[in-house]
Amino acid sequence: MGILYDRLVALDELSSRECVITIRINSFSDMSEIYIENCRKVLSCDEEFITLGVCKTDIRISGTPLVLENFGVGGVKITGKISSVDLDCSGGKS
List pLDDT tens digits, range 60-91: 999 989 999 888 777 899 999 999 999 998 75
Give the rounded distance of the alpha carbon of 5 from its chain centre.
Answer: 24
| Per-residue pLDDT at 40 | 76
Domains, the chain: 3-88 (2.60.40.2000)
Q: How confident is the model at residue 94 (pLDDT cuts 50, 70, 90)?
A: very low
Strands annotated E in the chain: 21-25, 32-37, 41-45, 49-54, 57-71, 75-88
Say what the pTM is. Answer: 0.73
User: For position 59, what pLDDT does the model report?
Assistant: 92
**% of the chain exceeding 90 in pLDDT:** 37
Task: Indicate the pLDDT class of residue 30, thresholds 50, 70 and 90.
Answer: confident
Output 60-68 pairs: Cβ under 8 A, ≥24 positions apart: 60/85, 60/86, 60/87, 60/88, 61/34, 61/85, 61/86, 62/86, 63/32, 68/42
Rounded average pLDDT over 42-52: 93
